[in-house]
Structure 1
Amino acid sequence: MSTITFKRVNRSGVFWSRALWLLFGGLLVAALLGLGLWKVTQAVPRFMPGDARLNGGDPAKGALVFAAGDCASCHATPGQPDRLKLGGGQALASPFGTFRVPNISPDPVDGIGSWSPSDLANALIAGVSPDRQHYYPVFPYTNYTGMTLADVRDVYAYLRTLQPVPGRPPPHDLPLLFRFRRGLAFWKLLFFKEGQSEAVVTGEPVHDRGGYLVETLAHCAECHSTRNLLGAIKPSTRFAGGPDPEGTGFIPNITPSRIGGWSEGDIVRLLETGQTPNHGRVGSSMSDVVTNTAKLPRSDREAIARYIKSLPPRPTPHP
């Protein structure tokens, strides 16, 4: 008579073995996801050191790019009259905290004197710092990204001619959540089109030059628009007005819905003198803009006026 034997199964051991494999698998998946997230959110420079396309800038042309870009209005050291002392330090209040404008003088320690042309190109066009961090879009690289390489190398050459200003501004004063710069990669995915401009090109030289000045160098939409909860421009309000970045008042609508009765000559005169057609004068941050546009050749002011007159009419959003 045969004997039937039964093998006793250690169910507890099987359970723990499976649990350990599940834990290991979960940790592996989490590690791979974390590695992928780290890769996706890294700031990637567009230009490598020694890029020959960025060599040989013209400082005289760069001075006009600098003026058109309104650089001194933010980067000049507050409390002194020289707009070319670019020690930074101005505080920019925002819903996300207070940003401090950096020193962009040629000082090799506190400014950008140690930067290469590719460092400046990456900052302006890719929004990436020399130490490969994302810049906050309070720096309008979202517009500067459309700059020509000729303008980048010219403004680099011009900046090198200015006086070094020692001293580093205080760091940004931001809530903990917004200090993690890698998170800006997701903002860029949503709202940043690297190397692209919002300018509408028609093939007409004066109009298209105006588009480049308005949409890229002068970044007019940055002030003359309303923003969404993430700080990006609402397309439906582009140039239709928005809250003053300084927190006082409302920047006006500059589409034909608001200034349709202005002639190109009226706009040219405003950009040179600050005088409006109704004998008023611009104020707030626009007075600084006029200080810069007055330095441009008249042909550039005419181009700006031509482009602004071509903007589609949009209703003014509620303040």
Structure 2
Amino acid sequence: MNRLALLLVAALVAATGTVLALENWPMPAAPALADMVGDPKRGAYLARLSGCITCHTTPGAAPLSGGQGLVSKFGTFFAPNITVDRANGIGEWTFAQFVRAVRQGISPDGEPYYPAFPYEFYATLTDQDMADLWAAVQQTPPSDKPSREHEVGFPFNIRAGVKPWRTFFERPVQYAVDPERTSEWNRGRYLVWGPAHCAACHAPRNMIGGLPDNMELGGDPQMQDGGRSPSLTAKDLTARGYTKGRLLEALRTGITPDGDVFGGSMAEVVHGSTKFLLDQHLEDISTYLLDLGRQ
């Protein structure tokens, strides 16, 4: 009995130490922000481009009042209400808290968001982008619809466990202009790797959800929701019949070169995001993805 008691005490001490270590795991510091005025019209466009509308709005519901479940092998994650409702939305947030949440994936309470929220890619958004998004959110009518709790089982329901995951597997996207490329190519790369976050689905993740070091858009044969995403390399896109014009048309309409249509999450992306984009931006994306000389 004494030995059993000692083992139980040791296990309790170890568990307590683990919890304390996770709770005190260091998180990135909030960066300094420039003081600027946001453009709500541009922010509304960014919200479409970045998938905010698609993820945070269920069909028939008020804009940004909370989204459908994102099913994964870790559980189901629900995008929260991000309207300015003070009780059920983010009406109590400051601009600085909003920026830290979007670009760093950290809540106003200092807790990490699950990487189902693509903050790794939103790290590329500029201070002006964030000011514009904030201005758009401020003009969105408030909704008192409560956010749904994630349906995530043990041990993934321990939010603090995301902290060490971030240390070893988080890949915040860094963007820099390539002076040897055209402005169209550079914009396309920014859109693909930044706000449009194509790699969130089209780069293969490891068994615990981490992105590959090479960050190539080679497709994911085993997505977290059990589906699969195709490769977006220039070689594979060309083999599937895509030209610049056909890729632009597919992103606008959801119709592929062989006359088929996108299904699943890509259909939602077209319906809620890419069909609203400017032709110039769709051309930029197509220019970047179909640059055979880059492969």
TM-score range, shorter chain: 0.7 to 0.9
Could you tell me which of 134, 142, 150 is aligned with 2:120?
142
Tell me what 1:301 maps to: 282
Shift of 1:180: 2.6
1:297/1:89 Cα in 2 relative to 1: closer, same or farther (>3 Å)?
closer
Q: Which amino acid aligns with 1:207?
A: W
Say whether 1:214 aligns with 2:192.
yes
Structure with bigger RCO (C-alpha 8 Å, 6+ apart): 2
**Matches for 1:85-164 after TM superposition, within 5 Å:** 85-164=63-142
Shift of 1:143: 0.7
CA deviations 1:212-257 (Å, max 9, x no partner) are 1110100001111221011012346732222575836422222123
Greater Cα radius of gyration, structure 1 or 2: 1
Q: Secondary structure at the match of 1:184?
A: helix
Shift of 1:195: 6.5
Maintained 8 Å contact 2:104/2:119: yes
Maintained 8 Å contact 2:222/2:228: yes
1:304/1:89 Cα in 2 relative to 1: closer, same or farther (>3 Å)?
closer
Q: Normalization by structure 2: what TM-score?
A: 0.83
Tell me what 1:17 maps to: none
Say whether 1:81 aligns with 2:60.
yes
Say whether 1:230 aligns with 2:211.
no
Maintained 8 Å contact 1:225/1:237: yes
Alpha-carbon RMSD across the aligned residues, in angstroms, is 2.8
Shift of 1:209: 0.6
Tell me what 2:258 maps to: 278
Shift of 1:170: 2.6
C-alpha separation in 2, matches of 1:55 and 1:35: 40
Q: Normalization by structure 1: what TM-score?
A: 0.77
Q: Which amino acid aligns with 1:278?
A: D
1:118/1:226 Cα in 2 relative to 1: closer, same or farther (>3 Å)?
same
Q: Secondary structure at the match of 1:242?
A: coil
Unaligned runs of 5+ in 1: 1-29, 314-319
Shift of 1:128: 0.7
Q: Which amino acid aligns with 2:194?
A: T
Maintained 8 Å contact 1:256/1:309: yes
Tell me what 1:41 maps to: 25
CA deviations 1:137-162 (Å, max 9, x no partner) are 00000111111111111011111111
Maintained 8 Å contact 2:204/2:219: yes
Q: Secondary structure at the match of 1:223?
A: helix
Say whether 1:58 aligns with 2:42.
no
C-alpha separation in 1, matches of 2:269 and 2:21: 40
Q: Which amino acid aligns with 2:258?
A: N
Say whether 1:289 aligns with 2:273.
no
